[in-house]
Amino acid sequence: MENDRDKLLDVQDLTVRFYTDDGVVHAVNGVSLSLAEGETLGLVGETGAGKTTTALAILGLVPSPPGKTESSATIFDRQDLRLLKESEYRKVRGNKISMIFQDPMTSLNPTMTVTEQIAEAIRNHRNITRQEAKVEAVKMLETVRIPADRAFEYPHQFSGGMKQRVVIAIALACNPKLLIADEPTTALDVTIQAQVLELMKELKNKLNTAIVMITHDLGIVSEICDKVAIMYAGEIVESGSLEQIYDNPRHPYTNGLFGSLPDIEKDVEFLSSIEGMMPDPADLPVGCKFHPRCKYARPVCSEQIPNNNEIEPGHFARCLIYEGKLPGQEVKKYV
Amino acid sequence: MGQTEAVRPHRKKRSLWTDAWTRMRRNRSAVIGMAMFAIILLACFLSPFYLNYETNVIQPDLEAIRQLPTERHVLGTDELGRDILNRIIWGGRTSISIALAATVFSSVLGIIIGAVAAYYGNVIDSVIMRVADVFMAIPSMLLMITLVSVMQPTASNLVIAMSVSGIPGIARIVRGQMLSVMRNEYIDAVKGMGAGSLRIVVQHALPNALSPLISQIVSSVAGEIMAISGLSFIGIGIQAPAPEWGAMLAAGRNYIRDQPYLTTFPGIAIVLTVVSLTLLGDGLRDALDPRMKR
């Protein structure tokens, strides 16, 4: 596949732990991600799978203490992020890597006009006057299709979809190489979701920004992503290209996720669901972390930790079935 | 709320402050409080233009001692024949300016200290807040009396003493507000955009933490006026012959049986000022945080 030089982001074995009074919370356990310029990666998983924490760890924003971030490599744009001092990291954040937060209703400062907030993001990284920054900010708002006559209003005068567009404008203000979008459409209703996605697609093509799209919505992933990584309990259980994952999901968890989606062509009485709950990250199961909820689980699953097995070029699944440890078992598609 | 605003045809610049101002104008008691305080402020601070300190305020007139209100002396005269109205006005100037100065100092320092404690947390927070606890454990009147008696009872020392006893309370409120504001997602978002600590605190956290504090600060001016009057009443505040409401009360106390107006009028002045500030403070609270109402 691609060689290391093309990689914009390369994270190896990222681990985030929170040392609390009630024990150690294993939020992210050995996540590896890589992304080329202009590529979009969908990071999919249930609530509490560690998606957001992974994103914050890339930005160096995991609160420490109690959090502790470790990895064997975190290379961004040929720069080792682990070696950066806080002041140097600040120059990366919002400039080369930006993040869109989940809830547009709360991620804007209610006491500043939207233009001021975009201008501030620009002035954090570029040495220009307040006035010039404001001009840039209004241009940026027009890029996300907010008319200039609304530019000097406050966030509470905007609808949810417009706020999210403002948030996107802030994130893109410095023309970042990597955009981390943490469930950018979850708080929006469906029609606005479609608009925001359309906008992101357009901007991605125009600016050639790489995107990490964090979501639990497989529909959004299929719309916008080139690569997919499925997260469960702080691990990536399956990863590959969009086609590989959607046409040929191999991990029981991925299949469970697809099985829980309604299919317009199939006539079923109930949607299948994955029984049980995401394990408590302070008390993860031994062996395969998914085995308590897995239909195919055998005793061996609670003893051995599965490797990240390459099933076909670029398609990985973390399941013992592909190590020949569960003879006679085969994962059924979408069930 | 967002819905109705979205369909409004004309759009004006509507910041938190202009919105609050609109709400405040609709609140009758707040407007009354504001008007009362404005009149008191104007009367007191314009007094040098229509009163002469030497002749109208401190000049004894032994032929007109303890007179009932007359045309010449609208509120009567005191035990040295001085016009009570003039002394109330001049004294108000002293009381209110000392109270305002003390409030400004204690607010500025309290905000800085509280913000530092909340932003840095951990050890810094613990140390600052424990020191604040120690100060808050001492009754503020007692603390002020002690501080003023150690220093000289000059106006600037009074301001210092009153500020010191006001700081811990403000710092505590600011810290609490800051802690809750810092949990908002926009603070994370700003961090994610590469803003530095100072910008996060000054630009983003404080303005959002301040609105509940403003009404608190306005109301605390009323408390400081009570404090300065109290200190003067027991004789360690403003020194004679300069007039001050508390000192006038103390002087008139001896004649309360026969000439109660010597104490009544300065008392009314204190009450009116405190009530106006309290109304204003309550109105500000409702205007700045509409959800708190009822």
| Residue B17: pLDDT over 80 | no
Distance separating alpha carbons of residues A14 and A236, to the nearest angstrom: 11
For the cut 60, the answer to whether the pLDDT of residue B10 exceeds it is no
Chain A residue with CA closest to B202: the answer is: A111
What confidence score (pLDDT) does residue B89 get?
Answer: 93
User: Token pair of A29, please?
Assistant: 């356990």
Residue B172 is assigned to a structural domain of this protein: yes
pLDDT at B1: 41
Q: Is B2 a domain residue?
A: no
Q: Which 8-state DSSP code applies to residue B47?
A: H
The enclosing domain of B166 has a CATH number of: 1.10.3720.10
Residue in chain A lying closest to B288 (CA) = A111
Burial of A209 (0-12, 13-18, 19+ CB in 10 A): buried
Partner-chain contact B194 A90, CB within 8 Å = yes
- The ipTM (two decimal places) reads 0.76
Most confident of A155-164, A178-187, B136-145, B283-292: B136-145
Q: By three-state DSSP, how is residue B174 classified?
A: helix
Checking if the pLDDT of A274 tops 70, the result is yes
A interface test, pick of B186, B191, B197, B201 with most A CB neighbours within 10 Å: B186
Dihedrals phi, psi of B216, to nearest 5 degrees: -60, -45
Of A113-127, A255-269, B39-53, B241-255, minimum mean pLDDT range: A255-269
- Looking at residue A271, its pLDDT comes to 77
Q: Using CA atoms in the order A239, A240, A246, A250, what is the torsion angle rounded to 10 degrees?
A: -60
Tokens coding B40: 């008191």
pLDDT at B11: 53
Residue A1 has pLDDT above 50, yes or no: no
Question: Which of 195-214 (B) contact A at CB < 8 A?
Answer: 195-196, 199, 203-204, 207-208
Mean pLDDT of A288-303: 88
More confident residue, B9 or A145: A145
Q: Which of A95, A120, A154 sits opposite B15 (nearest CB)?
A: A154
Q: Please report the DSSP string for B99-122 in residue order.
A: HHHHHHHHHHHHHHHHHHHHHH-H
In this prediction, residues A73-87 reach a mean pLDDT of 85
pLDDT of residue A203: 82
Q: Which of B188, B199, B208, B291 to mutate to test the interface with A (most CBs of A within 10 A)?
A: B188
In angstroms, what separates the C-alpha of A111 from chain B's closest C-alpha?
Answer: 6
Q: Which pLDDT score is estimated for B128?
A: 94
Domain count, chain B: 1
Separation between Cα atoms, residue B288 and residue B211, nearest integer Å:
6
The Cα of B204 is separated from the nearest Cα of chain A by a number of Å equal to 7
Looking at the domain assignment, is residue B112 inside a domain? yes
CA separation for the pair A107, B67 (Å, rounded): 67
Each residue's pLDDT tens digit, B43-74: 999 988 888 888 888 888 888 788 888 888 88
Decide the pairing of beta strands A315-317 and A309-312. Answer: antiparallel
pLDDT confidence bin for A199, thresholds 50/70/90: confident
User: If you average pLDDT over every residue of chain B, what do you get?
Assistant: 87
Average pLDDT, chain A: 86
Among the listed ranges A53-57, A142-146, B140-144, B277-281, which one has the minimum average pLDDT value? A142-146
Using the beta-carbon criterion (under 8 Å), do A108 and B11 form an inter-chain contact? no
Instruction: Specify the pLDDT at position B117.
Output: 94
Instruction: Kindly list the residues from chain B whose CB atom is less than 8 angstroms away from the CB atom of residue A171.
Output: 193
Q: Any CB–CB contact under 8 A between B184 and chain A?
A: yes
In chain A, what's the furthest Cα-to-Cα distance?
69
pLDDT of residue A243: 92
8 Å CB contact of A159 and B2: yes
Give yes or no for a contact between B76 and B261, defined as CB atoms under 8 angstroms apart.
yes
Q: With bands split at pLDDT 50, 70 and 90, how would you rate the model's confidence at B9? A: very low
Q: Is B9 a member of any domain?
A: no
**Candidates B5, B186, B194; nearest CB to A94:** B194
pTM (two decimals): 0.77
Helices (H) and strands (E) in chain B, counts: 13, 0
A191-200, A298-307, B102-111, B206-215 — most confident range: B102-111
Parent domain of B79: 19-292
CA angle, corner A210, sides to A208 and A211, nearest 5? 130
Q: How confident is the model at residue A333 (pLDDT cuts 50, 70, 90)?
A: confident
- State residue A154's pLDDT score: 87
**Band of residue A4 on the pLDDT scale cut at 50, 70, 90:** low
Task: Say yes or no for a CB contact (<8 Å) between A106 and B204.
Answer: no
Q: What is the mean pLDDT of residues A284-300?
A: 88
Query: What chain A residue is nearest to B7 in terms of C-alpha separation?
Result: A157
Instruction: Please name which of B8, B83, B24 lies closest in space to residue B286, comparing C-alpha atoms.
Output: B24
Question: Does any domain span residue B12?
Answer: no
**CB-CB neighbors (< 8 A) of B206 in chain A:** none
Query: Which residues 1-40 in chain B show a CB within 8 A of chain A?
Result: 1-2, 5-6, 11, 13-16
User: What does the pLDDT read at residue A197?
Assistant: 87
In a domain, B279, yes or no: yes
pLDDT score at B137: 92
B192–A113 CB contact, under 8 Å: no
Token pair in block for residue B241 = 């012959």
With beta carbons less than 8 A apart as the criterion, state whether B97 and B224 touch: no
Cβ pairs A/B, distance under 8 A:
90
Average pLDDT of the residues in A76-80: 86
Is B8 part of a structural domain of the chain?
no
Q: In this structure, how many other beta carbons lie within 10 angstroms of the beta carbon of residue B137?
A: 9
Tell if the CB–CB gap between A90 and B11 is shorter than 8 Å.
no
Q: Measured between CB atoms, which of B14, B192, B199 is closest to A93?
A: B192
Of A99, A103, A112, the CB nearest to B192: A99
Contact state of B186 with A159 under an 8 Å Cβ cutoff: no
Q: Strand A67-70 vs strand A23-36: parallel, antiparallel, or unpaired?
A: unpaired
Distance from CA of A237 to the nearest CA of B (A): 27
Helix (H, G, I), strand (E, B) or coil at A77: coil
